[in-house]
């Protein structure tokens, strides 16, 4: 059984696990999940890689920052670089889904010498999404605007019934049903998101996207991620229906591959084998 460990950095505690042997591979989850989302992919990935899964600050078993600025993607990326350095990895491959993908993208910009390759799952760039917000995008991804409302308005509404709200999030960003999610993993997510501090931190995550990350990304519009990169997205996801997902990345990733996977936004849960095969195929190519 893989043992949960804890690492302290930047006044935060990061929960993480390590398994497997081989080149280092960092896996980062998104909203409203935890590092547990990667468990269905681990048996195959750990055959070839030393896999590190970690809870982003504010999520899961990691500590919950009290301010908006502390939930920026730059701070999250710094956490993960410190963790990987602590584990002895001078460079590593990075994979992220949702908020974890945004963290990995920021990491590749801020620490290009450390990130050997990048896989982002079912996102378009933060700056692109916010700068090109249409009525259709706002309707599909309304949570970006709802969660970013001033504290404590969204927190109080969510705390009334966290399971109802966050389970709706799991189903609302593309074709999905609760049966697509492993029952044991759902129990872990529910334990995490029922914590009022976690609810607050996740709201701060979305506040930071607008108040901090958007500006950070505008500064870097003339920069590209140079390492080999793969854009994976769900065929039935909201973004795939509304945008040409690979095209939104074309000017930001210098060496890009892309592929669509059966499922919606949470295609790693819906199609774990196809997702694993896509990751391994890309990793072999780099």
Distance (Å, whole) CA 162 – CA 47: 37
265 given a catalytic annotation: yes
Exactly one of 79, 98, 122, 205 is catalytic; name it. Answer: 98
Q: Which bin fits 236, alpha (ψ -120 to 50), beta or left (φ > 0)?
A: alpha
How large is the angle between the packed helices 183-193 and 196-208, nearest 10 degrees? 80
Q: What is the DSSP string of 232-257?
A: EEETTBHHHHHS-HHHHHTTTEEEEE
Q: Exactly one of 93, 105, 204, 265 is catalytic; which is it? A: 265
Rounded Cα–Cα distance for residues 153 and 206 (Å): 14
Measured in whole angstroms, the distance separating CA 71 from the mean position of its chain's CA atoms is: 13
Distance CA 223, CA 119 (A): 18
Q: Is 98 a catalytic residue?
A: yes
Sign of the dihedral through C-alpha 272, 274, 280, 286: negative
User: Rounded to the nearest 10 degrees, what angle do helices 99-110 and 73-86 cross at?
Assistant: 70
Where in the sequence numbering do the catalytic residues fall?
98, 265
């Amino acid at each position: 059984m893989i043992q949960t460990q804890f690492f302290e950095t930047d006044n935060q505690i990061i929960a993480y696990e390590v398994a497997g042997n081989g080149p280092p591979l960092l896996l980062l989850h998104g909203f409203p999940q935890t590092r547990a989302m990667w468990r269905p992919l681990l048996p195959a990935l750990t055959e070839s890689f030393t896999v590190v899964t970690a809870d982003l600050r504010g999520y899961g078993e990691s500590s919950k920052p009290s301010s908006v600025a502390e939930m920026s993607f730059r701070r999250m990326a710094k956490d993960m670089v410190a963790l990987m350095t602590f584990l002895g990895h001078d460079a590593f491959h990075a994979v992220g889904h949702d908020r974890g993908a945004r963290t990995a993208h920021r990491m590749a910009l801020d620490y290009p010498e450390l990130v050997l390759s990048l896989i982002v799952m079912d996102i378009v760039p933060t700056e692109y999404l916010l700068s090109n917000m249409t009525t259709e995008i706002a309707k599909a991804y309304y949570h970006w605007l709802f969660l970013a409302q001033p504290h404590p308005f969204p927190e109080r509404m969510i705390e009334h019934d966290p399971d109802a709200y966050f389970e709706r999030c799991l189903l609302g960003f593309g074709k999905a049903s609760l049966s697509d999610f492993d029952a044991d993993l759902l129990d872990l997510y529910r334990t995490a998101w029922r914590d009022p501090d976690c609810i607050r931190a996740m709201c701060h995550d979305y506040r930071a996207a607008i108040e901090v990350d958007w500006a950070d990304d505008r500064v870097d519009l003339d920069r590209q991620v140079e390492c080999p990169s793969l854009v994976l997205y769900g065929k039935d996801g909201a973004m795939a229906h509304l945008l040409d997902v690979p095209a939104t990345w074309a000017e930001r990733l210098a060496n890009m591959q892309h592929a669509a996977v059966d499922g919606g936004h949470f295609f790693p849960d819906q199609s774990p084998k196809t997702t694993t095969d896509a990751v391994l195929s890309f990793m072999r190519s780099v």
